[in-house]
Amino acid sequence: MNAQRIRLIIGLMTVALVGIICLQIYWFDWNIRLNEEQFDKNVYAALNRVAGKLQFLETSSAIKAMNRARDESGNVRRASQYLENGYAARSLENMTSSTGDGQSFEDNVIMWETMKVVELLDSKPLAERIQLDLLAKAVQDEISSRGINAAYQYGVYSKARNSYVIVNDHYVVEDSGPQITHGGAPTLYNSPYKVSLFTQDMESPGYLSLYFPSRTSLVLGSVIKTLVLSIIFTGIILFCFWYTIQVIYRQKQLSEMKNDFINNMTHEFKTPIATISLAADSIGSPMIMSHPDKIKRFVDIIRQENRRMNSQVERVLQMALIDKKDFQISVEDMNLHEVIQQAVDNFSLQVEKRNGVLHTDLQAERPVIEGDATHIASIIHNLLDNANKYSPDKPDITIATRDVPNGVEITVTDKGVGIGKEARKHIFDKFYRVHTGNIHDVKGFGLGLSYVKAIVTAHKGLVDVKSEPGKGSSFTLMFPKHVGA
């Protein structure tokens, strides 16, 4: 799959995910607003019902009081005095003296009594017109009947006093202090849930208000579970999307590295195969057969090239074993300095051919560790080979050791082309090779550093690299004294 098609698929998936997320946000916003409207509707309905109950109870009580007063005695004057609660009796006489021919004395008394009831109710303070127990029960019943099960505060505000006179089951005592801070009143003042009381009066004497401290959680309560699940599932989808992209690019990169590996393997094998073929043809030539020294020379070439191919094949097979977890090391006591010195002796000739130098700085005082000498020698050779290959001309390579707590540290430093930040993330990946232009300008399968990493890890050690483009690289290997440490 080419890069353009991958980008197209990623773009379409991104647009689809963004669209789904936007739709979810819109749906949750709409659902929350709908819940707010329904909540407000239920609260106002409850308040109106409570106000209606208070008005009905007051009117009923007044009518019953009037009826009781009239039934106690047939004396109309006595009934009127009962209702007036202290008004002069001559008011009744003055009213009856002006009664017309079409209206009986009793009808006029009833009218007068009704007017006096209304006047008496209007003149009473708002707090005295409401019974606390009836108010508390009415509020509780109406709120609960609408499925609102949450803490709330309620209060009765008097316009005459310009303050709350009832708050949460108790009367507010008037004093010289600022009453707005009394009994939770600040929250009630700010609450939008208010209805007028006793609207049959010429002017409503006050209003009843409700406040819900947990209104937000109540509104979100019905959608919070769905919201959490939506966030979780969306997060899973985003993670899978991100992981899929990573896998696609990783597979693409791996495919490119494998193609690179095949190209390099073909390039690496073609030269020795061609050399062996040429040497074999030469040995069969009648001109060569008569010269034993030349035959020996061609046989040595065939043997050397064959050994070279076997070495390459062995490295590939070793990496295959490492991938299958069938890889094992033969642990024994070994002297790192001896292994390093032997690798330097064998490799120095290649550096000298390029007019380079190979320094040693073996400062470790306790170089003996537990390890596999063959594999450690091989990874040191790999690091020296990389330092040589990635040095443009006249390689300057240093291999050093030093003691560290519970182990020995080996550092191979060169002054070559260096490695960029992005490449440093992948240099230990199998098949990965740092290119310097043409794909075949530096020979190799891209297995060297992957092999180094695997061997050091098998020894319970650590690998680190420091490098800057144009300034060279420094590879550090730390081996513990004991593999089990």
| pLDDT computed for residue 410 by the predictor | 95
The span from the CA of 191 to the CA of 211, in Å, is 6
The span from the CA of 109 to the CA of 468, in Å, is 111
10-23 average pLDDT score: 87
Read off the pLDDT of residues 211-225 as tens digits, 9 standing for 90 and up.
Answer: 988 887 777 777 788
The span from the CA of 69 to the CA of 63, in Å, is 10
Element (H, E) at 88: none
Residue 78 has pLDDT above 80, yes or no: no
Domains of the chain: 3-72+124-213 (no CATH), 247-322 (1.10.287.130), 329-480 (3.30.565.10)
241-255 average pLDDT score: 82
| pLDDT computed for residue 120 by the predictor | 61
**pTM for the whole thing?**
0.46
pLDDT band at 339 (very low <50, low <70, confident <90, very high): very high
The residue among 483, 338, 477, 480 whose CA lies nearest residue 409 is 477
Phi, psi of 58, rounded to the nearest 5 degrees: -65, -45
The span from the CA of 388 to the CA of 414, in Å, is 8
Lowest-confidence segment of 205-214, 277-286, 451-460 by average pLDDT: 277-286
Residue 75 has pLDDT above 50, yes or no: no
**Average pLDDT of every residue of the chain:** 77
DSSP per residue, 343-365: HHHHHHHHHHHTT-EEEEEE--S
The residue written with tokens 């005095």 in the block is: 81
331, 483 Cβ separation under 8 angstroms: yes
Give bridge partners of residue 163 from the DSSP assignment.
Answer: 158
444, 389 Cβ separation under 8 angstroms: yes
The sheet carrying 472-480 orders its strands as: 357-362, 396-404, 407-414, 472-480, 462-468
